Structure 1
Amino acid sequence: MSRICEICGKGPSFGNNVSHANNKTSKVWRPNLQKIKAVKNGTVRSIKVCTRCIRSGHVTKAL
């Protein structure tokens, strides 16, 4: 299952959890993706879009 926004291309970010003792473990920040029905290229499709694109109005929701 792809974790990438189909509008802006936002995907997971990688880094480290750093403890007080300076131990480092892997950390992944994933975008908040929602599966919505939207109009894309004149047809209604189910796409995965991040909430930032939905709020910004980059997506036209299907009725």
Structure 2
Amino acid sequence: MAKCAICGKSTIFINKVSHSHRVTSKKQRPNLQKIKAVVNGEKKRIWVCTKCLKAGKVTKAI
């Protein structure tokens, strides 16, 4: 997937540790939504994380 157009948040790799302490790598992806937003006065479809949407950092196009 892409990364957030506002904050740049993207996939991170973490270590998943089981009860027996076996370590495997795992991808943790942000909750990205493709929305129509106003960017530089024109409407565009961009990937935005839900944290930026809730904070009001994006103006949605109607």
TM class, shorter-length: over 0.9
User: How many angstroms apart in 2 are the aligned matches of 1:20 and 1:31?
Assistant: 26
Shift of 1:57: 0.4
Which ranges in structure 2 are unaligned for 5 or more consecutive residues?
Answer: none
Percent identity for Structure 1 against Structure 2: 56
Q: Paired residue for 2:37?
A: 38
Which ranges in structure 1 are unaligned for 5 or more consecutive residues?
Answer: none
3-state secondary structure, aligned to 1:46 = strand
The TM-score, its normalising length taken from structure 1, stands at 0.93
Alignment of 1:1-63 (within 5 A): 2-63=1-62
Q: State how many pairs are aligned.
A: 62
CA-based RMSD: 0.8
3-state secondary structure, aligned to 1:52 = helix
Instruction: After the TM superposition, list the runs of 4 or more consecutive aligned residues in structure 1 that deviate by more than 2 angstroms.
Output: none
Shift of 1:33: 0.2
Shift of 1:51: 0.3
